[in-house]
Amino acid sequence: MNDGATSRKATCPQCGRQFTYDSANEPSWHPFCRRRCQWIDLGQWFSGEHRISKDLLADDEHED
């Protein structure tokens, strides 16, 4: 069936969807199921939903 293929199952940490990926050809947005989910996760960081980062970066501010 899967001659040589290394298909693996994973659960997207963003949307919770189960998906399969080829471990020999891992997508750049791994471990998310698709690039959009990676963007959503990054967007949450940038929009401050993960507030911890704000304190961690407090002494390393950059001008906008």
Residue 5 or 27: the one with the smaller Cβ distance to Zn ion is: 27
The number of residues in the chain equals 64
Task: Work out how close the CB of 36 gets to Zn ion at its nearest, in angstroms, rounded to a whole number.
Answer: 7
Task: Work out how close the CB of 34 gets to Zn ion at its nearest, in angstroms, rounded to a whole number.
Answer: 6
Q: How far apart are CA 46 and CA 24, in angstroms?
A: 31
Residue 16 or 57: the one with the smaller Cβ distance to Zn ion is: 16
Task: Work out how close the CB of 23 gets to Zn ion at its nearest, in angstroms, rounded to a whole number.
Answer: 18
